[in-house]
Amino acid sequence: MRGPRWLLGRAIDLRAWRPSHAAYIWRHAAGPRAGVGTAGAGSEADSEPRIAEAAAWLARAQEATGDGGVAGRYRLDGGWTSSYPETTGYLIPTFLRLEATGWPGFEARARRAVDFLLGLQLPSGAFPGGEVAENLTEPSVFNTAQILHGLLAWAAHTGDSRTRTAAETAGAWLVSVQDDDGAWRKFVYRGIPTTYVAHASCWLAEAGRQLYRPDFLAAAGCHLDWVLGRQDPATGWFDLCGFSEADHRARRSVTHTIAYTVWGVLFAAEVLGRDDGIAAATRAAEAIGHRLAADGRLAGVLDHEWRAHADWTCVTGNCQMALVWQRLARRRDVSGDFEAWAGRALDLAASSQSLSSRNGGIRGGLPGSDPVWGDYIYAAFPNWAAKFFIDGQLARLETSAPSGRG
């Protein structure tokens, strides 16, 4: 039980006196949502309406900024924030996929996002970190790579030479600031080298393949070596995958960055033809899947022995791990309960989504944490949670019975 002071603080932070907030909060305060994992509560049977509402939420997040970028999050205590270049970048492939699978208007949204991003690229080829209200001049390795991924998707879709050139200069900058051992220590979050930057180097590998740049592929391979050198041989855990030095000392992390690491290793290894990377990612993914199966949920923070360290879940981490498990399920050289784990993770994420709220900042969005007052993206709905949720649900539809959509 929480004390009165804690309850008062949460009520103020969540603006609990607002009817739409109170209705959403009550669903969380009441405990696990009824029917999670059954038809109508996030399973394949209602994937399409949930995708539609999450896509509509993203459309509102883009409209809220007025500059073509997508608002970083909707905060219960302050509404929509400013455009977030990093996540606007990796939303471009999601927008294109929505258009291709029967949700019209999202190609135009992708075009607006590209135009917004090209206007932010620095002379070096890098892109700034953070939201536009916070920073327009300081470059970021991680953010540049996420935007690179989006630019590559648009260039492949349209053949646009301007976007291709922007992607190539972004990739060249990433290579130029990489250290000799494969890590990035400059222009990274808090100045700390991390293994979750695998989710940056994997897009550099993608750029190397798409743009015929052997130097990009070599740089990605060098970083993959550095990350694999930090995998615990006893458990499959990747050290240095957290946000802070305190996380690294404790050898624990939020599942968001754990999933970034595992996906990055898997994707880069596939591009580079590295069986060692595929095996490393598979081992970690299996361990996380067994934890989900044992607990019935995935705690928002795990340690190097895959033990839970949070009483909340990271919704984004659930969706990202679903994507990892879905990707592994398509491989013929590995085996595991990947589809079942992915389905369970998506069901749990769906249980945190409201389809009926009168508040457009809540309806269709996914919170950072479940419950919404958990530590990750406290009391807010980040755009990347909706992005990874849509990606996972679309992948789920692809492997289920024909739904009638394009």
CA-nearest of 299, 298, 182 to 230 is 182
| Residue 112 in this model has a pLDDT that exceeds 60 | yes
Query: pLDDT averaged over the chain?
Result: 93
- The domain defined by 36-83+155-399 folds into Glycosyltransferase (1.50.10)
| Residue 164 in this model has a pLDDT that exceeds 90 | yes
Cβ contacts of 108 within 8 Å, gap of 6 or more: none
pLDDT tens-place string over residues 309-354: 999 999 999 999 999 999 999 998 888 899 999 999 999 999 999 9
The predicted pLDDT at position 29 comes to: 66
Cβ contacts of 399 within 8 Å, gap of 6 or more: 326, 329, 339
| Whole-angstrom distance, CA of residue 230 vs CA of residue 232 | 6
Q: Which two tokens stand for residue 290?
A: 């067994």
| Residue 361 in this model has a pLDDT that exceeds 50 | yes
| Residue 42 in this model has a pLDDT that exceeds 90 | no
Q: Among 167-176, 333-342, 378-387, whose mean pLDDT is lowest?
A: 333-342
The predicted pLDDT at position 41 comes to: 45
- Specify the 3-state DSSP secondary structure of 339: helix
CA-nearest of 169, 47, 152, 48 to 110 is 152
| Residue 27 in this model has a pLDDT that exceeds 90 | no
Alpha helices per DSSP H over 64-197: 85-100, 106-118, 141-158, 161-176
The predicted pLDDT at position 35 comes to: 38
| Residue 404 in this model has a pLDDT that exceeds 60 | no
Mean pLDDT of 224-242: 98
CA-nearest of 314, 381, 388, 390 to 80 is 381
| Whole-angstrom distance, CA of residue 33 vs CA of residue 353 | 11
% of the chain at pLDDT higher than 90:
87
Q: What confidence category does residue 34 fall into, taking pLDDT thresholds of 50, 70 and 90?
A: very low
The predicted pLDDT at position 30 comes to: 64
Q: Which two tokens stand for residue 245?
A: 């030095």
| Residue 36 in this model has a pLDDT that exceeds 50 | no
